[in-house]
């Protein structure tokens, strides 16, 4: 049997709620140690926002409605150690996470 959670009546008309779509093309991005920018396509049919990421990376835009190409930029990592962080995108009751891994500059 199917679920009827997304069906209702509005003004006597049978309606179906639209399913929330919130997904990214890549759920993990890898960066070299140098300052670098990569895109990741967000597919959405709802308004969404990005929880502030770690200070060593930026995301643009940080919110919107519908699908968009996210631009993710990392600062140079001269620590000699790899680092990782997450970008959390929320909208329509869903959360999508992009993991960002940046290699450290060899010492």
Residues written for the chain: 107
Question: For the segment 72-103, what is each residue's pLDDT rounded down to a tens digit?
Answer: 999 999 999 999 999 999 999 999 999 999 99
Question: For the segment 8-17, what is each residue's pLDDT rounded down to a tens digit?
Answer: 566 667 667 7
């Amino acid at each position: 049997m199917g679920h009827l959670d997304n069906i209702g009546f509005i003004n006597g008309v049978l309606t179906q709620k639209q399913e929330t779509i919130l997904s990214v093309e890549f759920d993990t991005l890898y960066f070299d140690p140098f300052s670098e920018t990569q895109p990741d396509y967000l597919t959405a049919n709802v308004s969404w926002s990005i929880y502030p990421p770690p200070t060593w990376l930026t995301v643009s835009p940080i919110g919107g409605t519908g699908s968009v190409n996210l631009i993710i930029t990392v600062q140079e990592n001269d620590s000699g150690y790899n680092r990782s962080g997450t970008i959390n995108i929320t909208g329509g009751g869903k959360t999508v996470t992009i993991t960002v891994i940046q290699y450290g500059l060899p010492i």
